[in-house]
Structure 1
């Protein structure tokens, strides 16, 4: 099973690259977003690989990060969605953007992707929503550790005692980390999450907390 390639970039064009490793050229299908970020031909390149085995062919799909490969794997786990459709999706949307759209149930944004109709978008939301919450939780926060996030959330001026039992600080920290991973500024993420936590109360799930906080951004 090929999971990673490190070698010299022999050629690249939209949706396809050839990487030479140990004298062998590997043809790899890639999203347009990867094509745009590849180095010059002749330069060293590293790709994280998903190897897709079919009865009549073995195809390699390449990504610049493990997180993007993980997103690809999640997309093709949806019934009726194949690798080429997944490549089209990741050509038009960043992994974080897609995760955001699925968590917030943004049907319109997902169904705008070529080859994705409303029914497929609905299916992706149903089958991937919980997985996307976990996906967002493991993306490293851009500016603070989880402990720092929890402390900051508890010290927020908006976190006043209004008589309701507060959401656990660990939940707040996880939600803040998720929003920061979606390129939200920390201060905005903190304010949005605290506001959502106050509205939802102690029974709030992390999924609900993130979804509501995203609407307050």
Structure 2
């Protein structure tokens, strides 16, 4: 089994990439979310790999993040969803939006090409209770990104690192209750001025 590939991008086409690992080119199928985040040909990349083995073929599916790979593996665990269909789903919706849609039960309303209402309902029914770890990881990732963005913005506005660090616990509380970066930044400015 291949779990990880690290090497130079030898060539790339929509949905596939060839990774040169010490002179051996591995063809990897990737969702569009991964494809568009890859660098240019010749750049180094590390992909988390899911190996799909059939009677007469082995196919590699690659992802930039472990969360995306885990979600892919959960999707192919749903009856009737194969690796190609799971790749299609991840190509048409972000991992965070997919997790939210499954947990909230409104995946059928997302109109993912190739996934009808019946299949979307099946995905929700089979995965709704199995995504708690991914939902928590996604929320944590979003709040960490928002915290870093807020701290960066405050530093760019001229506040010192010491001033920002002193107010970080209050900023974290603001992030927990606020929905957007604009609201977080506005409320953080009020807090840091006091």
TM tier relative to shorter chain: 0.7 to 0.9
Distance 1:136 1:96 in 2: 8
2:118 aligned with 1:119: yes
Q: Which aligned pairs between 1:28-43 and structure 2 lie closer than 5 A?
A: 28-43=28-43
2:187 aligned with 1:188: no
Q: Runs in 1 of length 4+ with deviation above 6 angstroms?
A: none
Report what 2:133 is aligned to: 134
Q: Which aligned pairs between 1:95-174 and structure 2 lie closer than 5 A?
A: 95-110=95-110, 112-139=111-138, 140-141=140-141, 142-143=143-144, 152=173
Which structure features the higher share of helix residues? 2
Distance 1:79 1:100 in 2: 21
Report if the CA contact (8 A) 2:8-2:45 is conserved. Answer: yes
Tell me how far 1:7 sits from its aligned partner: 0.3
> Secondary structure of the residue that 1:138 maps to in structure 2?
helix
Q: What is the alpha-carbon root mean square deviation over aligned residues?
A: 2.0
Tell me how far 1:120 sits from its aligned partner: 0.7
Q: TM-score, normalised by structure 2?
A: 0.73
Distance 2:44 2:19 in 1: 9
Tell me how far 1:138 sits from its aligned partner: 3.1
Report what 1:24 is aligned to: 24
Report what 1:51 is aligned to: 51
CA deviations 1:98-151 (Å, max 9, x no partner) are: 0100111114334x112111111111111000112232123434247xxx69x9
Report what 1:214 is aligned to: none
Report if the CA contact (8 A) 2:98-2:107 is conserved. Answer: no
Report what 2:12 is aligned to: 12
Report what 1:89 is aligned to: 89
Distance 2:137 2:34 in 1: 22
Distance 1:91 1:79 in 2: 20
